[in-house]
Chain A
Amino acid sequence: MKNYSFLPLGVLALGLLLSGCAGESTSDTSTEGAEDSTQISFIHWRGEDKAVLDDIITQFEDKNPDISVEMTIYPSEQYQATGQRLLQDGSTGDVFTSFPGAQFEAIASAGLFEDLNGEDFVSNFDEELISVGQKDEAQLALPYQLVFNMPVYNKGMFDELGLEVPKSWTEFQAVADTLLENGITPIAFPGADIGPNQFMNSMMMNNAPDEDVFEKLQNGEESLTNEWWVKTLEDFQLLEEKGYIQADSLGTSQDSAMAMVANEEAAMLATGSYHMSALLDLNPDLELDLMAPITVEESEAVYEGINTATFMLAVNSQSEKKEQAKEFITFLSQPEIASHYANETGQHLTVNDVEYESEVLQNTAYWIDERKTRFQPRFLITNAQIEAAVLSSIENVLGGADPMTAAEEAQQLVDENRE
């Protein structure tokens, strides 16, 4: 039995490797775009927006025949982890997006943001909402989407049971008790994935009305063992102990939590406005609105909800095609294009003069200017280890730990990881 079949294969492979090494490494697989057009790369993490962005890109290329756009979408985990590395050589992400908070800081300190101050398109955005993309007088990025990271609730169910939106912690508990009596879980909480990092914002917003609290935590002026965080953990404990959130919540993923709300087994979904359209897909009869629990007395309440300006558009400072990149951002911030994007994705935007068509977007648009919301506190934690410590204290309490002990453990991690 002589079998040399793999030998030629090996030799062949070697030859291919040696000859192919040079040619294959830079990826340029786009088939679109004519020979004489400049191709820019647009990278982001919103897989669910692919269809509408493809459509917008086609329109853009029709208007600007000398530019073609190649869009690459990464899963958000991976984008968080390797996003800035992609940008470094300047060949990828002429236009890119960034999360506020830790990622924005990391990219800014690596100097990969082109300063957009003074560009015409900046005036297309709501001035109030774009400060999150500013650093040291420079406008490094322009948030495109406006998200409310606060629970979505079943308004129809509330009306049916004659419930009002609670204005204090006492009222909230009364509402939750009524729901329980009617066999409904008050809050569906996806503790296995995004629950802790989304719900912590509403839960702490009035316990710690100071917007700089996390900055102070990171430089040692504040501690998680102080009243504001211990009370937040106690509030979480109360939700758990009274059964206001479903049992075994730390094993529940966001899809299971969504299913609970869609099937009207639960009244609130502790995530954010971005889940509204998905909930309506699951159950078109739902009437939804947003509501954050007020964890203090009515008179002490400062904030009514949480907003995040995210999906921040930016130009790569290492790019050789900055002009074309800016053209694309200009296009995205046109009211009619932005409106198209908003209605297709079911998102509110930071762009001026956007027309919301869908009922959900119209009905919740009042949160943009009529309600007092604060920027998502979690994104003001710029150190990933400290953020992890804060979140783990919530998981710890939901797993049965004493709030003070959990706070102390987390504070120890904060102290270890402070720069």
Chain B
Amino acid sequence: MFFRRFSLVIYALLILIPLLIVVLTSMKTIQETFRNPLGLPEAGLQFENYTAIFQEQTMAGYFMNSTIVTLFSVSLTLFFASLIAYGIIRLNNWIGNFLFILFTLGMMVPAQVSMIPLYSLMLDLNLTNSLVGLILVNISTTMPIAVFILTGFMKTLPKELFEASTIDGAGNWKIYTKVAIPLSLPSLSATAIFLFVMHWNDLLYPLLFITDNAYKTLPLALLEFQGEYSTNYPMLFTGVIIASAPMVIAYIFLQRYFVAGMTAGAVKG
């Protein structure tokens, strides 16, 4: 029993201490960090690094870009994927099955495979350094997992519901909006969170397609702080905190959904 408690506490500390150090370090000067990496900030709680980072960096712009890219990527992926999932379960023939397999196979392809031709394609289409380009790529790359989860869920819905509506003369669109979507809300919200975490934190695609400061998202901007401030950890951690804040706040309030979302497809999906 004691051992059990002890290990629970140790694990909790392993999570908490690094996070605490991040917060404390963001309130120190760099000299102080070198002198005393583990201690409390000598000058107490001070937010100079925070004001400095907003002055030196176009943080607000990076924020805006991350927000736009994430919101549009998530909502459009959900919209398109739910249309496809609905189509697959209603068709219920070889075409539907073929499409389902086609999307599922996409989950097996690592991003590095399509990355190189995708890069050329984006250059040809003039979609580099554009948020639209980034959104389109995000939608396409997360479509497989979204289709997989939503189809899995919609398959569990009773067929009679759809058939009854059809008899009542409702068209496909109407059944989709009035029946399929409201019933799929739990799996839609889970998928939404999953996609939200993924897109908000994504580094690879911004790294490939965005070079212009005006279109950088937070993770990419953070990576560059590494070059600019190299081991100026106080500044780096200030950036980390600012970039993680929305996610952390959302997590605190929507914990249940986060847990469902990040494990979507894994449990009875």
Contacts and interface: CB of A to CB of B under 8 A. Distances in A.
CB atoms of A and B under 8 A apart anywhere in the complex? yes
A255 interface: yes
A302 interface: no
A382 interface: no
B212 A17 contact: no
B231 to A, nearest CB: 4
A254 interface: yes
A27 B181 contact: no
B78 A6 contact: yes
A25 B75 contact: no
Interface residues of B, number: 36
Given A10-B78, A14-B76, A47 B227 contact: yes
A-B pairs with the 6 shortest C-beta distances? A10-B79, A255-B231, A75-B227, A25-B130, A10-B75, A255-B230
B165 interface: no
25 contacts: A1-B185, A3-B182, A4-B181, A6-B79, A6-B188, A7-B79, A7-B177, A9-B75, A10-B78, A13-B75, A13-B76, A14-B79, A16-B72, A21-B132, A24-B132, A27-B215, A47-B227, A72-B211, A72-B213, A73-B213, A75-B227, A75-B228, A77-B227, A82-B211, A255-B231
Contacts of B126: 25-26, 89
B48 interface: no
Interface string A228-268: 00000000000000000000000001111001000000000
Interface string B172-201: 000001000110010010001000000000
B214 A27 contact: yes
Contacts of B177: 4, 7
B76 A24 contact: no
A6 B75 contact: yes
Given A13-B75, A25-B126, A256-B231, 4 more contacts: A6-B79, A13-B72, A27-B215, A255-B231
A193 B231 CA distance: 11
Contacts, number: 84
Contacts of B76: 10, 13-14, 17
Looking at chain A's contact residues, is the secondary structure mostly helix, strand, loop, or mixed? helix
A318 B215 CA distance: 24
A121 B207 CA distance: 36
Interface of A: 1-4, 6-7, 9-11, 13-14, 16-17, 20-21, 24-27, 29, 47, 72-78, 82, 85-86, 88-89, 193, 253-256, 259
A347 B104 CA distance: 56
A388 B14 CA distance: 36
Contact of B34 (A16, A47, A259): A259
Contacts of A14: 76, 79
B231 A253 contact: yes
A89 B122 CA distance: 13
Interface of B: 34, 71-72, 75-76, 78-79, 123, 125-127, 129-133, 135-136, 177, 181-182, 185, 188, 192, 207, 211-215, 224, 227-228, 230-232
B214 A253 contact: no
Contact of A85 (B34, B123, B136, B232): B123
Contacts of A16: 72
B75 A27 contact: no
B227 A25 contact: no
Contact of A17 (B135, B185, B192, B232): B135
A79 to B, nearest CB: 9
Contacts of B135: 17
Nearest to A12: B75
Nearest to A21: B132
A88 B123 contact: yes
Contacts of A20: 132
A27 B132 CA distance: 12
A256 B231 CA distance: 8
A6 to B, nearest CB: 5
Contacts of A24: 130-132
